[in-house]
Amino acid sequence: MDPLTHALASYTLKRAAFPSAARPTTIAILIAGTIADIDLLTRFAGPSAYLTFYRTSFHSLLAALLFSVLVTLPFALRKQAATEKPLPPLPIFLAALSAAILHLLMDLCQSAGVEIFWPFSARRFALDWLPPLDLWIFAILLAGILLPILGRLVTEEIGSKSKGPRGTVGASVALATMLVYIVLRFVLHSNAVAALESRTYRGESARKVAAIAESGSPFRWHGMVETESALHDVAVDVGPGASFDPDVTITSYKPEDSPALDAARDTAVARRFLQVARFPKATVEKTPDGFHVMLRSFPYSRDANSGRRVHVDIYTDPSGKVLSQELAWDTLLK
């Protein structure tokens, strides 16, 4: 999820669950609820750093705990004036931890995945229910914040004063609506996966499928299918009366096994890449010195997971001996 949506979600959580919290708690919630996305900056350090850190250590339960402690410390160590009301650090920590966990749960519902149990496990979890930028969730959260403000302006205009913390009801309704929307996405995702698994593609059964959420409509999904000999990119519509044609696909055939391809897959950079790429696609080209093997994330025409894409370039001699290997930004669009 994008940082702005996370900021809106954190502020909505503050209004709903901690409506009477002091300003330090609000600051801690906003920082803890967005700081995990600092790993986006690793793109400036190159593709290797990006592949290593994006959605890994910073998007883990351990990091959420550490971030919550760090944002609480400045307020716990700050010397308070004699006239100030004491502010216990535990409520600030719990509020910050709630926002950090909410961040992880929202990203867990996407397709890029998070290594939530880092460093104990390198497994990346992805539920595929939400797109990278969900316009519906953004609108729900924004409405939950702005509509109570507008309502308060109206009541103040007519001389009525509201009782209790401002915006609590609107924020609670927004979070409840977001939860219902995510449950709807879960149901529609299950239908899309079932539809993908029940079809054949170019005469072959599906070995692995994924239904990736699209921003525009919860009823339209981006299907990726792996068969014995190819990878297929297909649009899937779900809902009452919806169907899709498995023959209308963008198909990319797998290369034949070769010593060069086997050697390339066994390199260190390829193993790192294959830990992240859900539908890796290899291409093998003959060169004057041997072979060029490229590993990329399928499909090429769009990024179903996240912002920048990384691919692997490996060169071998005619016998398959690796001459060079590197991670690079994928700038090719097919």
Spatial separation of the C-alpha atoms in residues 60 and 58, rounded to whole Å:
6
Q: Which residues pair with 201 in a beta bridge?
A: 204
User: So what's the pLDDT on residue 215?
Assistant: 86
- 108 and 36 in a common domain: yes
Q: Is residue 157 part of a domain?
A: no
* Residue closest to 59 by CA, chosen among 3, 131, 128: 3
In this structure, are 25 and 111 located in the same domain? yes
The answer to whether residue 13 is domain-embedded is yes
Give me Rg for the CA atoms of the chain. 24
45 and 96, same domain (yes or no): yes
Say whether both 52 and 95 belong to one domain.
yes
Lowest mean pLDDT segment, chosen from 87-91, 102-106, 221-225, 232-236: 87-91
Output b/e per residue, 291-324; b: 16+ Cβ within 10 A.
bbbbbbbbbbeeebbeeebbbbbbbbeeebebee
Residues 110 and 9 in one domain: yes
Q: What is the pLDDT of residue 239?
A: 79
Structure confidence at residue 10 (pLDDT): 97
Into how many domains does the chain fold? 3
Cα separation, 149 vs 166, whole angstroms = 8
**Of 88, 110, 127, the domain-final residue:** 127
159 domain residue, yes or no: no
Residues 13 and 122 in one domain: yes
pLDDT 10s digits, 255-300 = 999 999 999 999 999 999 999 999 999 999 999 999 999 999 987 5
In a domain, 156, yes or no: no
- Over residues 8-30, the mean pLDDT reads 93
Task: Provide the whole-model pTM.
Answer: 0.89
Q: How far apart are CA 258 and CA 280, in angstroms?
A: 17
Average pLDDT over residues 145-150: 81
Q: Rounded mean pLDDT of 69-88?
A: 78
Write out the residue range of the structural domain in which residue 312 sits: 256-329
pLDDT above 80 (res 165): no
Question: Are 299 and 265 in the same domain?
Answer: yes
Q: Which residue has the tokens 């906003």?
A: 30
Q: What is the share, in percent, of the chain residues with pLDDT greater than 90?
A: 75
* pLDDT score, position 240: 79
Asked if 120 and 228 sit in the same domain, the reply is no
Structure-derived torsion over alpha carbons of residues 172, 6, 102, 185, reported in degrees to the nearest 10:
80
The CATH code of the domain that includes 280 is 3.30.505
| pLDDT at position 35 over 70 | yes
Select from 81, 102, 127 the last residue of a domain.
127
Domain contains 32: yes
- Per-residue pLDDT, 306: 45
Residues 6+ apart with CB under 8 A from 268: 325
Give strand pairing partners of 253. Answer: 230
pLDDT exceeds 60 at position 235? yes
Closest CA to 28 of 101, 97, 103, 87: 97
More confident residue, 189 or 160: 189
Q: Is the pLDDT of residue 84 over 70?
A: no
Structural domain includes residue 141: no
Among 133-142, 245-254, 324-333, the range scoring the smallest mean pLDDT is 324-333
**Domain-located, residue 171:** no
| Same domain flag for 221 and 277 | no
Query: pLDDT at position 308, please?
Result: 64
Work out the mean pLDDT of the chain and round it to a whole number: 89
241 plus 290 within the same structural domain:
no
- Rounded Cα distance between 282 and 290, Å, is 16
Are 23 and 109 within one domain?
Answer: yes
Q: Looking at residue 125, what is its pLDDT?
A: 94
- Say if residue 109 is in the same domain as residue 34: yes
The C-alpha torsion from 188 through 244 and 246 to 111, rounded to 10°, is: -30
Which residue, 127, 160, 192, sits at the end of a domain?
Answer: 127
Provide the pLDDT for residue 155. 55
In this predicted structure, the answer to whether residue 82 has a pLDDT above a threshold of 90 is no
Asked whether residue 166 is domain-assigned, the answer is no
Tell me what pLDDT residue 191 has: 94
pLDDT at 286: 94
Q: What is the mean pLDDT of residues 117-145?
A: 94
* Cβ contact 306:112 at 8 Å: yes
Mean pLDDT of the 242-254 span: 88
What DSSP assignment string belongs to 242-290?
A: ----TTS-EEEEPPPP-HHHHHHHTSHHHHHHHHH-SSEEEEEEEETTE
**% of the chain residues with pLDDT over 70:** 90
